[in-house]
Chain A
Amino acid sequence: MSGSREAILGAIRKNHVQSERARPPVPLFDQAAPSDLREMFQKSLERMGGKMLTPDAVDPMAPVRQAIVKPGPVVSCVPEFQGDMQITPQTKPTDIAPVEYAVLRAAFGVAETGSLCFTEKQLHVNTTGFLPQHLVILLDPAQIVYNLHNAYQRPEWTQAHYAVFQSGPSATADIEGVLVHGAQGVRSLSVLFHPVS
Chain B
Amino acid sequence: MTAELHEELTDPHADPHADQLDHGAASSRPLKSRISEPQPRGAKIRGNRPVDQSEAANRFMAATEHEAMHDARLWDLRQKRDKEMHGIEEWEELRNLASGIKEHTLSKLDYYLELFEKNATANGIKVHWAKDGAEHNAIVLEILRSKGVERLIKSKSMLTEECGFREFMAHNNVEVIETDLGERIQQLDDEAPSHVVVPAVHKLRTDVASVFAKTIGSDPDNADAHYLTECQREATRPLILSAQAGMTGGNFVVAETGTFVVCTNEGNADLSANTPPLHIASIGIEKLIPGLDDLAVFIRLLSRSALGSPITQYTSHFRGPREGGEMHVVLVDNGRSERLGMEKFWPGLKCIRCGACMNTCPVFRRSGGLSYGATYAGPIGLIIDPTFNVHKYRNLPYSSTMNGSCTNVCPVKINIHEQIADWRKTLAGDGEISPVKKVMMKAAGEVLASPVVYRASLPLGRSALRHLPHFMLYNKLNTWGRKRDIPETPKQTFNEWYRKNRKQQGEGEKS
Q: A23-B101, A93-B275, A161-B123 in contact; A149/B21 too (CB < 8 A)?
A: no
In the complex, what residues of A have CB within 8 A of residue B107's CB? Answer: 16, 18-21
Q: How large is the interface on B (under 10, 10 to 19, 20 to 34, 35 or more residues)?
A: 35 or more
Contact between A161 and B100 (Cβ–Cβ < 8 Å)? no
B-contact bits for A31-56, CB 8 A (1 contact / 0 none): 00000000000001001110000000
Question: Given A5-B129, A174-B182, A178-B17, 18 more contacts at CB 8 Å?
Answer: A4-B333, A12-B113, A16-B340, A21-B106, A112-B310, A120-B322, A149-B293, A149-B296, A152-B296, A164-B315, A167-B313, A174-B199, A182-B230, A183-B266, A183-B267, A184-B233, A184-B271, A187-B8
Query: In the bound complex, do residue B228 and residue A179 qualify as a contact, i.e. CB atoms below 8 Å apart?
Result: no
Q: Does A162 contact B (CB under 8 A)?
A: yes
- Cβ of A130 within 8 Å of any chain B Cβ, yes or no, is yes
Could you list 30 examples of A-B contacts with CB < 8 Å? A8-B129, A8-B333, A11-B333, A11-B338, A12-B109, A17-B343, A18-B103, A22-B100, A26-B293, A26-B294, A26-B296, A114-B310, A126-B322, A147-B300, A149-B293, A157-B257, A157-B319, A162-B274, A165-B315, A168-B313, A174-B200, A175-B200, A176-B204, A177-B21, A180-B229, A184-B179, A184-B181, A185-B268, A185-B271, A185-B314
A151 interface contact, C-beta 8 A: yes
**Assembly CA distance A13 to B313 (angstroms):** 38
Q: Is B216 an interface residue (CB 8 A)?
A: no
Chain B residues whose C-beta falls within 8 Å of the C-beta of A168 in the assembled complex: 313
Note all chain B residues with C-beta closer than 8 A to A112.
300, 310
Task: For B20, give the chain A residue with the smallest CB separation.
Answer: A177
| B92 to A: closest C-beta gap in Å | 12
- Interface residue A74 (Cβ < 8 Å from any Cβ of B): no
| Known contacts A157-B259, A175-B229: A8-B337 contact under CB 8 Å | yes
Given contacts A21-B104, A131-B271, A176-B33, contact A12 B110 (CB under 8 A): yes
CB distance from B84 to the nearest CB of A (A): 11
Give the complex CA separation of A120 and B319 in angstroms.
11
Q: Does B139 have its Cβ within 8 Å of any Cβ on chain A?
A: yes
Residues in A whose Cβ lies below 8 Å from that of B21 = 171-173, 177-179
A-B contact count (CB 8 A): 279
- Among B23, B101, B321, the residue within 8 A (CB) of A161 is B321
Chain A 54-98, CB-CB to B under 8 Å as 1, else 0, gives: 000000000000000010000000000000000000000110010
Cα distance A158–B320 when bound, in Å?
A: 11
Main secondary structure of the interface of A (DSSP, over half): loop
> Closest residue to B200 on the A side, CB-wise?
A174
Tell me the B281-318 residues at the A interface (CB within 8 Å). Answer: 285, 290, 292-297, 299-300, 307, 309-318
**How far does the Cβ of B17 sit from chain A's closest Cβ, in whole Å?**
7
**Distance between Cα atoms of A158 and B266 in the complex (Å):** 26
At the interface, yes or no: A170 with Cβ under 8 Å from chain B?
Answer: yes
Residue with the greatest number of chain B CB neighbours at <10 A, chosen from A147, A171, A179, A180: A180
Name the residue of chain B whose CB is nearest to the CB of A19: B107
Is B128 part of the binding interface, using a Cβ–Cβ cutoff of 8 Å?
A: yes
Residue B425 interfacial (CB < 8 Å): no
- Tell me, yes or no, whether B185 is within 8 Å of chain A by CB: yes
Q: Which residue of A lies closest to B259 (CB)?
A: A157
Give me the 7 closest cross-chain CB pairs, A-B, nearest first. Answer: A185-B267, A15-B341, A173-B21, A174-B182, A178-B225, A11-B337, A161-B320
Could you tell me how many residues of chain A have their Cβ less than 8 Å away from some Cβ of chain B?
77
For A26, give the chain B residue with the smallest CB separation.
B293
Q: Is B280 an interface position by the 8 A CB rule?
A: no
Within A114-169, which residues are at the interface with B (CB < 8 Å)?
Answer: 114-115, 120, 126-127, 129-131, 133, 147-149, 151-153, 157-158, 160-169
CB–CB B31/A176 < 8 A: yes
B455 close to chain A: CB less than 8 A: no
Q: Does B428 contact A (CB under 8 A)?
A: no
The reply to whether A127 and B271 form a contact with Cβ atoms under 8 Å apart is yes
